[in-house]
Amino acid sequence: MTDSSGFDDRSENDSSTHRGQLEADGGEAGAPIDTEEARRRPYVESQVVMATVRLISPFVLTYGVFVTLHGADSPGGGFQGGVIMAATVVMLAFSFGIQPTREWVDDSALLGLVAGGVALFAVAILTPMAFDGAALELVVLESTTTVAVKWWVEMVEVAIGMMVAGVVVGLFFVISSGVFGTDEADREGDR
Amino acid sequence: MNPESAALATTVDPGHLTLLIVVLPILVSVIPLIASLRDVSAGWVTAAAALAVNLALTVALAASLFLTGDRLIRYEIGGIPVPHGIELVADGLSILVVLLVSLVAFTVLIYTRTQGPRGNAFYSAYLLLTGGLLGVSLTGDLFNLYVFLEITGLAAYALVASGDTGRGAYAALKYMLVGTVGASLYLIGVGYAFLATGTLNMADLERQLSAVGYGDPLVITAFAFLVMGLAVKAALYPVHTWQPDAYSSAPTGVAAYVSALVSTVAVYALARVVLSVYTVDFLDHHGDLQALVIYFAAVSIVAGSVLAVYQSDVKRMLAYSSVSQFGLIVAAFAIANPNAVYGGLLQLIGHGVAKGALFVGAGVFAVAYGARKVEDYEGIAHRSPYAAAAFAVLAFTLVGAPPTVGFMGKWYVGVGAVESGFLAVAAVIFFSTLLTLAYVVRLVDRMYFGRPTRNPLLADGGGDDAGDGQGVTHGILVVLAVAAVVGFLMGPFASEIQALVQPTMEALT
Amino acid sequence: MTLALELALIAFVVVTAVFAALLRDVLGSIAVFAAYSLGLAIIWVLLQAPDVALTEAAVGAGVMTFLFLLTIAKTTRPDTEKPLKQVDLKAFVVVAAVALLMLTTVPAMPEVGDPDAPPVSAEHPTGEQTPYSYYIENTYVQAGIENAVAGVLVVYRGFDTFGEAVVVFAAAVGVMVVLKREVLK
Amino acid sequence: MIEEFIARHYHVAFIVVLAIGLYMLIESGNLVKKVIGLNIFQMSVFLFFTTAAYVEGGGPALVGPESVPGEHSNPLPHVLILTAIVVGVSLTSLALALVVRVYREYGTLDEDRLEEVMAGEP
């Protein structure tokens, strides 16, 4: 365990970074964790954890994509795959600090994932209606586009995967930064 | 079906309409979030456009439904034959609820434009709540109903906490804990029904449950859990405790929306389960179980009224009055003869309109004059004559004064109760009407004949006497007036509406 | 042999649930809850529900634990002198009454794995085909999908899945409303 | 009597775990523990459904052209429970956001203390 100066000034300004360090803060019984003492505590990082995470996260991400795409033939699917993909980002956040990861992840990318998922789902629901079918009637899509039902199922799975990945990462960031206003004020106060 | 209506049905497929009504608000709810990325506050405009289109679609669906002979539209999603797929069903019962939801959602939205809470995420949640409610109203599948019930719940919990107070957040959390237990009890009921039959489609369950036999313990247990779960969602006594806190601490626009629709739709779902899935035959087979539900609801009627009389806070008073009203409606659906069911339906719609608008009124008076308690209302009618008049009319709708819709609803339920020999229920309705009259008269009396001395905002001048106080905008007055007119006019037209939904009533009872 | 394993797993799940209830320390409760989820996930494997097992492991033991830990890091972890709580008699009596009432319905249920149970029979008492039999016979033939769970999820009950996606989205929107945020970050 | 319950051990487990979750919901003063209780309660229902899907000697619901009923567990309850799990985690995240918000406003997660503080509010 070493102190990494790289993130020090940032963590000085941001109390939520410390809150991300769960185990380290467990001690204050009965008191809020973001006490003055906890706030001043230097950010602790583990080179071992960071290296490990850097090494395995591409594989975890790939596995998430695999689980999403392979749902039609084996257990798994968009939801499970999406969760696994989101886990990559959460892992990065826990090893490199929440604040740096937050800055690294683009907000429009998250929203794009969610909106893209909704758009794909909308395609599956609405387009069959344009071809004299019922909503979500994938067989109609197969006969008009000659793309097999299976691939339309995959498209829906991908839509779910995108939404879930975007939302889980978003939830993680939103909850970790707390209530808008009060927590922002905390941050200002620290400067 | 006559040739004319058949022609119309082929030009506009009403089945597609049922689906679009549910899906449109949900899909559009993404747009405000995308707009926030560009720092554009497009929330209200987007929601207003989507809900206006939805209202138009709903009216179109209602028109094509009333042109069909049997008042029934079924739509198999994905073209999968029932019971293997999910279907949407519109009939005389659901269409009135759908109309109510679309109308109230659009009208309350007008109120939120000036009074807030604002923010794009708020309007996304608002659209999601609308989509969830419409899904519950239109689905023909027991599990799909659970999913939409939870969408409704999630959005409602968040909206209750959308104000600035910590009280709202805590009330939302309590609401969520109780609401989720209610939904889970419902899900357990679905589980028992599935264990007994292996199917989930409502129409199919109706046949399979009777094939399994109404004496089967699993069938009976499923009924008990389904009814209990939805009773929690509808806030019947004694599982109502979450409701007054949630309604009184939510921002006014949310309180109006949630009080008008969320429990209403849960009670509608209860009616669906009792009348469409279990049917009158089941109730006839289990007279004791039927009586149990009716007396349980009757306790709610009395307890809600008694608790409302004791409230000094106007919003809490309105909240407790809902406990009583929903007791009445559930009793009506459990009596399950044509008059009682129709009375329950009228009451369901009338209460939704009146209660939502009353919450808007209470919010307006709170903003304009700081009036929250009954005694603060002294002399309000002199400062805000139009708003006060609408408020008074709506309050008398709640009592059931003739010729309002409240009167017709109670009348039909009372007649139905007497027909089926539940004289005690008729007596309870009469007694609770007196109690309701007591607290409504207490309030209206102060509004019109009290002296505006206690409340400084009402006592000293500022603003002309002919107009309304600040905060009472024209938009809000329109909302209140529309609700008052609807509440007033639905009464005299009750028999016309009855003729429209008659085929559905016959099919259900 | 399998029955012994099943009973052991059930015992594990029940014991973890009891500890989650009785541990004073919220952190401990969270850890035991994660174990409870994993126990359930193994039961799903035994019940031939690999999709459910995978999801339960990813969500119950993964996402949920994360969210709980994040929450106590953002809030507080109350004082803990004694490790275990006393059983609250009033709550226990209420809950025991509910459980006993529900247990009376157990003999009416089909036995675990009974091939004649309505959910896994090919036909209803009325002679019609059950959804179960329809899915098993048609998922591969109609849609070319081997995993019937995915087939039912998207092809036959796609509208439920749409609802599921909406629930996820609603959670994100709800959290943003509650925490007064306008962006997903 | 005992055999009847042994042959339906998963159903019994469902009811016992459901009761424990309900107990946590009623008894716990701490809001986070209430949410944990809610999850234990909900997950017990999942056990009820997956048990209903199971058929003795049947494999998972991986099918081919020759598949017949009885060889596979019923995929329908699995699908329902996948949805229900997602609903559960969504509700939990919203509940926890509410917990964070309540703590920000009142500085405590203890139910009794919260009621006290609120009774003192205007």
> Residue C122: which residues within 8 A CB-CB, separation 6 or more?
C129, C130, C132, C133, D69, D70
pLDDT band at A75 (very low <50, low <70, confident <90, very high): confident
In this structure, the answer to whether residues C86 and C166 fall within a common structural domain is: no
Q: Is the pLDDT of residue B453 over 80?
A: no
Does the distance separating the beta carbons of A125 and C154 come in below 8 Å?
no
pLDDT band at A27 (very low <50, low <70, confident <90, very high): very low
**Cα–Cα distance between B232 and B239 in angstroms, integer?**
6
Q: How far is A111 from chain C (nearest CA, A)?
A: 7
Q: Is the pLDDT of residue A58 over 80?
A: yes
**Cα–Cα distance between B72 and B89 in angstroms, integer?**
7
Predicted pLDDT at B452 = 64
pLDDT band at A28 (very low <50, low <70, confident <90, very high): very low
pLDDT per residue as tens digits for the range B288-336: 999 999 999 999 999 999 999 999 999 999 999 999 999 999 999 999 9
Q: Is the pLDDT of residue B456 over 90?
A: no
The fraction of chain A above a pLDDT of 90, given in percent, is: 24
Q: Is the pLDDT of residue C115 over 50?
A: yes
Q: Is the pLDDT of residue B115 over 80?
A: no
Predicted pLDDT at C109 = 94
pLDDT band at A29 (very low <50, low <70, confident <90, very high): very low
What DSSP assignment string belongs to B444-495? HHHHHHS-TTS-HHHHS--S-SSS--TT--HHHHHHHHHHHHHHHHTTTTHH
The first and second tokens of residue B419, run together, are 């027909």
List of domains in chain D: 2-55+72-119 (1.10.287.3510)
Does the distance separating the beta carbons of C151 and A125 come in below 8 Å?
no
* Domain residue extents for chain A: 15-44, 46-177
In this structure, the answer to whether residues C70 and C152 fall within a common structural domain is: no
Nearest to C158 among A21, A31, A156 (CB): A156
In this structure, the answer to whether residues C83 and C102 fall within a common structural domain is: yes
Does the distance separating the beta carbons of A178 and D86 come in below 8 Å?
no
Sign of CA dihedral C98, C103, C109, C112: positive
Ranges of chain D whose pLDDT falls below 70: 122
pLDDT band at B458 (very low <50, low <70, confident <90, very high): low
pLDDT per residue as tens digits for the range B93-102: 999 999 999 9
Predicted pLDDT at B9 = 46
In this structure, the answer to whether residues C43 and C79 fall within a common structural domain is: yes
Is residue B176 a contact partner of residue B245, using CB atoms and an 8 Å limit?
A: no
Is residue B317 a contact partner of residue B397, using CB atoms and an 8 Å limit?
A: no
In this structure, the answer to whether residues C92 and C162 fall within a common structural domain is: no
Q: How far is B506 from chain D (nearest CA, A)?
A: 33
| Ramachandran class of B267: left when φ > 0, alpha when ψ lies in -120 to 50, beta otherwise | alpha
Higher pLDDT, B229 or A133: B229
Q: Where are the alpha helices (DSSP H) in B68-165?
A: 92-115, 120-138, 142-160
Selected residue of D36, D45, D80 to mutate for chain B interface (largest B Cβ count, 10 A): D80
ipTM for this prediction:
0.90
The first and second tokens of residue B31, run together, are 């747009």
Tell me whether residue D24 is exposed, middle or buried, using C-beta atoms within 10 angstroms of its C-beta: 0 to 12, 13 to 18, 19 or more.
buried
In this structure, the answer to whether residues C144 and C76 fall within a common structural domain is: no
Does the distance separating the beta carbons of A182 and D60 come in below 8 Å?
no
Predicted pLDDT at A9 = 35
In this structure, the answer to whether residues C49 and C96 fall within a common structural domain is: yes
Range of the domain at C27: 1-109
pLDDT per residue as tens digits for the range B349-359: 999 999 999 99
Predicted pLDDT at B464 = 38
Query: In Å, how far from its chain's centre is CA B469?
Result: 30
> Residue A23: which residues within 8 A CB-CB, separation 6 or more?
none
**Total domains, chain C:** 2
Query: In Å, how far from its chain's centre is CA B492?
Result: 21
**Cα–Cα distance between B189 and A28 in angstroms, integer?**
44
> Residue B482: which residues within 8 A CB-CB, separation 6 or more?
B107
In this structure, the answer to whether residues C138 and C180 fall within a common structural domain is: yes
Predicted pLDDT at C8 = 95
User: Could you say which DSSP state residue B430 is in?
Assistant: H
Report the SS3 class of residue A45: strand
Give exposure, D50-86, as e/b (b: 16+ Cβ within 10 Å). bbbbbbeebebbbbeeebebbebbbbbbbbbbbbbbb
pLDDT per residue as tens digits for the range C11-62: 999 999 999 999 988 999 999 999 999 999 999 999 999 999 999 998 888 8
pLDDT per residue as tens digits for the range B171-212: 999 999 999 999 999 999 999 999 999 999 999 999 999 999
Q: Is the pLDDT of residue A4 over 60?
A: no
In this structure, the answer to whether residues C86 and C26 fall within a common structural domain is: yes
pTM: 0.92
Which of B350, B279, B276, B366 has its CA nearest to residue B316?
B366
- Over residues B262-281, mean pLDDT: 95
Q: How far is B125 from chain A (nearest CA, A)?
A: 15
Chains that touch C (3 or more CB pairs under 8 A): A, B, D
- Over residues A105-134, mean pLDDT: 89
Crossing angle of helices B217-234/B314-335, nearest 10°? 150
Report the SS3 class of residue B311: coil
Instruction: Please check whether residue A165 touches C, CB under 8 A.
Output: no
pLDDT band at B2 (very low <50, low <70, confident <90, very high): very low
Instruction: Please check whether residue B75 touches A, CB under 8 A.
Output: yes
Chain A residue with the nearest C-alpha to that of C69? A22
pLDDT per residue as tens digits for the range B405-443: 999 999 999 999 999 999 999 999 999 999 999 999 999
